Amino acid sequence: MTRSRARGAWLLERSRAGARRAPLALACALLASCASPPSQAPLRSAPIAPAAAPSAPPAAAAPLTGNGLRLQPASFDELPGWQADDFGNVWSAWLQDCRAPVPQLVEACTAARGVAADDVAAQRAFFEQWFEPWQAASANGQDQGLVTGYYEPVFRGSRTRSWPYVVPIYGLPGDLLARPDAPDGVTRGRIAWSNGRKELLPYWSRAQVSADPRALAALGRNVVAWLDSPVDALFLQVQGSGLVELPDGHMLRLSYAGDNGWPYKSVGRWLLEQGELRGTVTMQIIRAWAQMHPNRLPQMLDANPRMVFFHATPLEHPGRGPIGAMGVPLTPMRSVAIDKRLLTLGTPLWLATTVAGQAFTHLVFAQDVGGAITGSLRADLFFGTGDAAGDAAGRMQSPGRMWVLLPRGVAP
């Protein structure tokens, strides 16, 4: 769910250009800032045979971690709560990892086919045999970062424009081009005539789209859905993915397809800087402010120049999460978004933080990215789909520590 991806520091911190989500969060949180599993043969709750010990990965395999992330060797006994994790949904999340081609994980994924899906003891033994934990720290040695949360919202909408569904959700524009290393920081552009010649100009920002009939006409040729609230449309873009309940009762899944290349700016932070709000800014507070200040709503929306574009597909598997940046469905409370410049998607992580004031020490998997999920100790935890998940994700802003589980024989 590669996401632009509201929460406390949520709208202050997060943009899923992703799932997002996004076309929409653990390595990011702790390092702080989108199908059917393989067949399995039963295995009793016993250690995996030594003969299955992993060998070193091919020399051509890319590193699982990047510069700016310091890793110190640790042991499973040092992981807080390792033996207490109930491993609920761990195996299904891990098998999602194995659907994506991560060269360093091929041997472990092959061995996983011999572990029963309902044998928690064997699953724990599997990770202990095939992986080694490394405690993560920033370049300056800090070992505590920020963990936030995100979710998949559900809105009412339509595939055609009819009252009250008049707020467009745009699909990927056909004229969207890359602008690598652009000095102005806008990484997407469009070809246009300027000073009598063709130039690759920055793509329209949100404010420019609102003010330019040409931009509205260009994007209007590819509307994938219509919502009844511009604030809902904003939150959809922040999360990077979402579900839309159509008038006939069918569900549509919107997934991140791309963005206009502008840097993400938090509307929550804009409200604080404008003196409109104080303290923690949540999704509920932003909604209330928008209802009380409808004349200033366009100004708030335009404070974030980034626009996210979406794919729209019928919801065929209601129990399956949105697709993350790794290309696999996200698992609630087991999938996180990270900075992929520092961690390879698919990497297992041990996360120690708090959720709603309670200790959260669980095995999670780096399966997504977010536009605002950057840095060596930053992670975004996926809470699931719907209002309850959104309420919990919106309040998630906790310090946390992280351990990266690397395949044995792989040096960081």
Residue 288 confidence (pLDDT) above 80:
yes
- Closest by CA to 258, choosing from 219, 231, 293, is 219
Are the beta carbons of 406 and 98 closer than 8 angstroms? no
Residue 345 confidence (pLDDT) above 70:
yes
In a domain, 191, yes or no: no
pLDDT-derived band at 64, boundaries 50, 70, 90: low
What angle separates helix 387-394 from helix 283-292, to the nearest 10 degrees?
A: 100
Please tell me the distance from the alpha carbon of residue 61 to that of residue 352, in angstroms, as a whole number.
29
- Closest by CA to 372, choosing from 8, 11, 128, 79, is 11
Residue 14 confidence (pLDDT) above 50:
no
Are the beta carbons of 381 and 14 closer than 8 angstroms? no
DSSP-derived pairing of the beta strands 358-368 and 335-337: parallel
Which tokens belong to 376?
Answer: 């060596």
Residue 188 confidence (pLDDT) above 90:
yes
In a domain, 204, yes or no: no
Query: What confidence score (pLDDT) does residue 410 get?
Result: 81
- Closest by CA to 343, choosing from 372, 373, 376, is 376
Query: What confidence score (pLDDT) does residue 61 get?
Result: 46
Q: What is the mean pLDDT of the chain?
A: 84
Query: What confidence score (pLDDT) does residue 194 get?
Result: 78
Place of tokens 């800014």: 281
Burial class, 322, CB count within 10 angstroms (exposed 0-12 / middle 13-18 / buried 19+): buried
Cβ-Cβ contacts under 8 Å for 246 (sequence gap 6 or more): 157, 158, 159, 252
Query: What confidence score (pLDDT) does residue 68 get?
Result: 77
Structural domain span for residue 81 = 8-172+222-407
Query: What confidence score (pLDDT) does residue 172 get?
Result: 96
pLDDT-derived band at 280, boundaries 50, 70, 90: confident
Query: What confidence score (pLDDT) does residue 75 get?
Result: 97
The pLDDT of 309-335, averaged and rounded, is 92
Query: What confidence score (pLDDT) does residue 35 get?
Result: 29
Residue 275 confidence (pLDDT) above 50:
yes
User: What proportion of the chain, given as a percentage, has pLDDT over 90?
Assistant: 68
Query: What confidence score (pLDDT) does residue 318 get?
Result: 84
In a domain, 230, yes or no: yes
In a domain, 168, yes or no: yes
In a domain, 189, yes or no: no
Q: What is the pTM of this model?
A: 0.78
Burial class, 368, CB count within 10 angstroms (exposed 0-12 / middle 13-18 / buried 19+): buried
With vertex at residue 73, the alpha carbon angle to CA 70 and CA 77, rounded to the nearest 5 degrees, is: 130
Q: What is the CA radius of gyration of the chain?
A: 22
Please tell me the distance from the alpha carbon of residue 239 to that of residue 218, in angstroms, as a whole number.
24
Q: How many domains does the chain have?
A: 1
pLDDT-derived band at 13, boundaries 50, 70, 90: very low
Query: What confidence score (pLDDT) does residue 381 get?
Result: 97
Q: Which CATH number fits the domain that encloses residue 115?
A: 2.40.40.10
Residue 28 confidence (pLDDT) above 50:
no
DSSP-derived pairing of the beta strands 223-227 and 154-158: antiparallel
The pLDDT of 18-29, averaged and rounded, is 34
pLDDT-derived band at 284, boundaries 50, 70, 90: confident
Query: What confidence score (pLDDT) does residue 388 get?
Result: 94
Query: What confidence score (pLDDT) does residue 384 get?
Result: 95
E strand intervals along 62-166: 69-73, 131-138, 145-152, 154-158
In a domain, 190, yes or no: no
pLDDT one-digit tens code per residue, 380-400: 999 999 999 999 998 899 999
Query: What confidence score (pLDDT) does residue 7 get?
Result: 36
In a domain, 205, yes or no: no
Are the beta carbons of 379 and 351 closer than 8 angstroms? yes
Residue 22 confidence (pLDDT) above 50:
no
Q: Looking at 139-191, list the stretches that DSSP marks H as alpha helix, in order from N- to C-terminal side.
A: none
In a domain, 1, yes or no: no
Query: What confidence score (pLDDT) does residue 15 get?
Result: 40
The pLDDT of 296-312, averaged and rounded, is 95
User: What proportion of the chain, given as a percentage, has pLDDT over 70?
Assistant: 84
pLDDT one-digit tens code per residue, 95-127: 999 998 788 899 999 999 999 999 999 999 999
The pLDDT of 326-349, averaged and rounded, is 94
Tell whether omega for the bond before 164 is within 30 degrees of 0, i.e. cis: yes
Helix (H) or strand (E) holding 265: none
Residue 4 confidence (pLDDT) above 80:
no
